[in-house]
């Protein structure tokens, strides 16, 4: 070996060493840069989490000034965190095994938290500028101004929901997984509410008479006697809207509409197979179908037998919606001086009358209560922020449904959060299961019904499909003396249903393409009706519980879906408990 060759090799080795040292320094510097920015981002996100806690309190108190100030804090913290986690070095770590999923999740959370806060501020500013309108009507120009920022906010929620729900939390470190899971749940709920409010703002000016008088048919669902869409259609009211002002012009109850020997409008064969021919023969069953457009067809057909006034829109609500509105307005005085409040409305309207009053007296008290609530709600000022926050939970729970006879408005409503049970099921994704309840006692015992639902999936098959189980547990909270309650509460005596029992037809509608695997009571199958209704494989079975008793049924399916089952259900008087539970293989 010559001296020159040895020198070149020594030089090469030195060069490699120098390059290695430089690369190590650069990598350590990059790592230090990423780690340093990670700690800064962590600090910002911790501050954001503390602000989010204060935000929840401010929303509950309907303090819009505090809400706006807190959202500005969140925007600042999230904006800083997003800036710290969006540079090329940070993005480069997202391909690294182990750490990459976590750094990507932190970036996604930071960016969406920033976007949501930034997009919420214009809406809050508008709400604050038009706080409590003194006039007994709504300035429709404000709603028009709100349409664009509300649509932007709804789009941000939709984008955040899509990206956050796609994160595999099982691949994340526990603190990151907890943060992602918490934000994803909040965003999923918020996306539905934001969509509903945005849709309402787009069509509200026309529905409220901006371009001429509108007539709105209000359906009051009575969940003391459950139906798929919420409850028996026991009361109707006609609202007249003119230039943002609403007035209650007429009330009628179900006794106005006599049952018919044939359905008042055609009913799909699958719906009849599930629920019998009573769907179209009794006005009380208008919401027995999950298809709100069919409910509207039924309700408006029944209405035409009573009135020649054409209906421009149909709105369905239940007493929990009225209670939410009373939480904003405060109590109202009933004839005789009794106070009706958010806390006692359900008891006053749905429990006490059936225990102590005759049918005619019930009608009088419920009409008086409805009139008193609407006089207060429609006669006072409109605080847009207060109304939006008051209606957020009812919209999310499916207690509000809207339909318009005007095609441009219905196009907006058709796929929104206020389009009824069927539309909500379609929008909930390929792993959504809808659980519907229909009373079979013909009484009002569902005011004593408690519901728990568990759902989960297991790999039990060799063909790649999963077994999905939805377990529905019903408990009667009725006292033992329910056996002697008036027949208006317990319902007429029927075979197999003793006075005081709660008999319920439970229907579970599975995602399209799922196969029904039977309904189980422990180790034995029970009689069920299986049919594809509105495109969803559906199975229905009956549960009867005596006072103080608990029973459950497990509805089994096989599905090609790979996500966790998502549960929707009929709105109830008492909030249902919904939990995840992996089923055993059968």
The string of DSSP letters for 310-376 reads PPSEEEEE-HHHHHHHHHHH--EEPTTS-EE-TTTHHIIIIIHHHHH--HHHHHHHHHHHHHHHHHH
Dist CA 119 CA 301 (whole Å): 42
Compute the chain's Rg from CA coordinates: 28
Q: Report yes or no: 215 and 310 within 8 Å, Cβ to Cβ.
A: yes
* 546 neighbors 413 (Cβ within 8 angstroms): no
Do 424 and 551 touch, CB atoms closer than 8 A? Answer: no
The helix, strand and coil proportions of the chain, stated in percent and rounded to the nearest 5, come to 50, 20, 30
- In tens digits, what is the pLDDT along the chain, a chain of 586 residues? 555 655 555 554 444 433 333 333 333 333 333 444 444 555 666 776 777 778 778 887 888 888 888 889 888 888 887 887 777 776 877 677 877 787 888 888 888 889 988 998 998 888 887 765 545 567 788 888 889 999 999 999 899 899 988 888 888 777 777 777 877 888 887 887 788 788 888 888 999 999 999 999 999 999 999 999 999 998 999 999 998 888 999 999 998 999 999 999 999 999 999 999 999 999 999 999 999 999 999 999 999 999 999 999 999 999 999 999 898 888 988 877 788 999 999 888 889 889 988 888 888 888 888 888 888 877 766 677 888 888 888 999 999 999 999 999 999 999 888 999 999 999 999 999 999 999 999 999 999 999 999 999 999 988 889 999 999 999 999 999 999 999 999 997 777 899 999 999 999 999 999 999 999 999 899 999 999 999 999 999 999 999 999 999 999 999 988 889 999 999 999 999 999 999 999 8
CATH code of the region 214-413: 3.40.630
Element (H, E) at 215: strand 214-222
Task: Provide CATH code, domain 429-580.
Answer: 2.60.40
Check: CB of residue 305 under 8 Å from CB of residue 257.
yes
Question: Across the chain, how many H-helices and E-strands are there?
Answer: 16, 20
pTM confidence score: 0.84
**Cross-strand bridge partners of residue 578:** 453
Helix, strand or coil, per DSSP, at residue 520: strand
400 touches 409 (CB < 8 A): no
d(CA 371, CA 366) in angstroms, rounded, equals 8
Numbered ranges of CATH 3.40.630 in the chain: 214-413
Q: Which tokens in the block code for residue 144? A: 């028009």
Token code pair at residue 345:
């409305």
Helix or strand (DSSP H, E) at 449:
strand 449-458
Residues ≥6 apart with Cβ < 8 Å to 517: 467, 556, 557, 558, 586
In 10 A of CB 396, how many CB atoms? 17
Q: Where in the chain is the domain with CATH 2.60.40?
A: 429-580
Strands 432-439 and 502-509: antiparallel
């Amino acid at each position: 070996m010559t001296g020159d060759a040895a020198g070149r090799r020594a030089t090469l080795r030195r060069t490699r060493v120098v390059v290695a040292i430089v690369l190590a320094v650069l990598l350590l510097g990059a790592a230090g840069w990423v780690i340093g920015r990670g700690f800064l981002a962590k600090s910002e996100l911790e501050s954001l989490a503390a602000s989010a806690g204060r935000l929840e309190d401010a929303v509950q108190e309907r303090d819009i000034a505090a809400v706006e100030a807190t959202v500005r804090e969140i925007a600042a913290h999230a904006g800083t965190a997003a800036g710290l986690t969006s540079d090329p070095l940070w993005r480069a770590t997202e391909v690294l095994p182990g750490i990459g999923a976590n750094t990507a999740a932190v970036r996604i959370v930071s960016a969406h938290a920033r976007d949501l806060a930034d997009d919420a501020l214009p809406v809050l500013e508008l709400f604050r500028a038009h706080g409590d309108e003194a006039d007994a009507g709504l300035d429709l120009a404000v709603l028009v101004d709100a349409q664009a920022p509300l649509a932007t906010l709804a789009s941000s929620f939709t984008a955040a929901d899509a990206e956050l729900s796609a994160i595999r939390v099982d691949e994340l470190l526990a603190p990151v997984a907890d943060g992602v899971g918490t934000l994803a749940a909040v965003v999923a709920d918020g996306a539905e509410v934001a969509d509903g409010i945005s849709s309402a703002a787009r069509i509200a000016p026309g529905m409220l008479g901006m371009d001429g008088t509108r007539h709105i048919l209000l359906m009051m669902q009575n969940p003391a006697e459950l139906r798929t869409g919420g409850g028996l259609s026991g009361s109707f009211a006609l609202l007249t809207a003119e230039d943002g002002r609403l007035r209650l012009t007429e009330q009628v109850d179900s006794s106005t509409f006599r049952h018919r020997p044939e359905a008042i409008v055609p009913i799909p064969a699958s719906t009849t197979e599930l629920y019998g021919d009573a769907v179209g023969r009794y006005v009380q069953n208008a919401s027995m179908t999950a298809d709100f457009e069919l409910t509207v067809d039924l309700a408006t057909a029944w209405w035409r037998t009573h009135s020649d006034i054409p209906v421009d829109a149909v709105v369905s609500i239940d007493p929990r919606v009225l209670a939410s509105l009373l939480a904003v307005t405060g109590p109202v005085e009933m004839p005789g001086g009794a106070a009706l409040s958010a806390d006692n409305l359900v008891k006053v309207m749905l429990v006490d009358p059936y225990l102590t009053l005759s049918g005619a007296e019930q009608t009088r008290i419920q009409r008086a209560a409805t009139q008193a609530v609407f006089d207060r709600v429609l006669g006072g000022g409109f605080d847009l922020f207060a109304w939006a926050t008051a209606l957020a939970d009812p919209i999310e729970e499916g207690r509000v449904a809207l339909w318009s006879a005007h095609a441009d408005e219905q196009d907006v409503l058709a796929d929104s959060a206020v389009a009824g049970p069927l539309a909500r099921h379609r929008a909930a994704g390929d792993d959504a299961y809808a659980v519907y309840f229909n009373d079979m006692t013909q009484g009002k015992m569902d005011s004593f019904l408690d519901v728990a639902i568990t759902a989960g999936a297991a790999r039990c098959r060799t063909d790649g499909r999963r077994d999905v189980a939805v377990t529905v547990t019903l408990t009667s909270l009725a006292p033992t003396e329910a056996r002697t309650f008036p027949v208006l509460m317990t319902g007429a005596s029927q075979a197999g249903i003793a006075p005081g029992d709660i008999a319920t037809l439970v229907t579970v509608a599975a995602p399209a393409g799922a196969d029904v695997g039977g309904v189980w009571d422990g180790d034995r199958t029970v009689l069920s009706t299986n049919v594809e209704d509105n495109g969803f494989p559906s199975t229905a079975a009956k549960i009867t519980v005596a006072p103080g008793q608990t029973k459950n049924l497990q509805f089994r399916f096989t599905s090609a879906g790979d996500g966790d089952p998502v549960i929707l259900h009929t709105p109830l008087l008492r909030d249902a408990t919904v939990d995840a539970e992996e089923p055993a293989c059968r």
